[in-house]
Amino acid sequence: MPGRSNLKARLLPGNGPLAKVTPLVAFLVVIAVFAAGVLLGGATGALLLGVLAAGVGVLLVVTWTTLSPSQRVLRVLVLAVLVAIAISVL
């Protein structure tokens, strides 16, 4: 899959779109989107949480080979909880 290798290359440390974003800013954006999704509720909240889940899913796929099995389990669990919350705010 030629597109997949390009995605991985763009998301490697120092190369990708998030390379210049500080961890604190990324954390605050994730918290803000999560809080907005939960507080807004309905379709809008579920959409925000879905976008957040999609981002988590992309990062999980791209970093899968570098994660230990315990890290994989934890990240899949976080993704599942996020999807469950998105469904529950509908």
Mean per-residue pLDDT pooled into runs of 10, the chain (90 residues): 53 68 92 97 96 94 91 96 96
Model pTM score? 0.78
> Which pLDDT does position 1 carry in this prediction?
47
> Which pLDDT does position 62 carry in this prediction?
87
Helix (H) or strand (E) holding 25: helix 23-40
Q: Contact at 8 Å (CB) between 9 and 15?
A: yes
Phi-psi region of 74 (alpha: psi -120 to 50; beta: other; left: phi over 0): alpha
Distance CA 64, CA 55 (A): 14
> Which pLDDT does position 13 carry in this prediction?
62
> Which pLDDT does position 56 carry in this prediction?
94
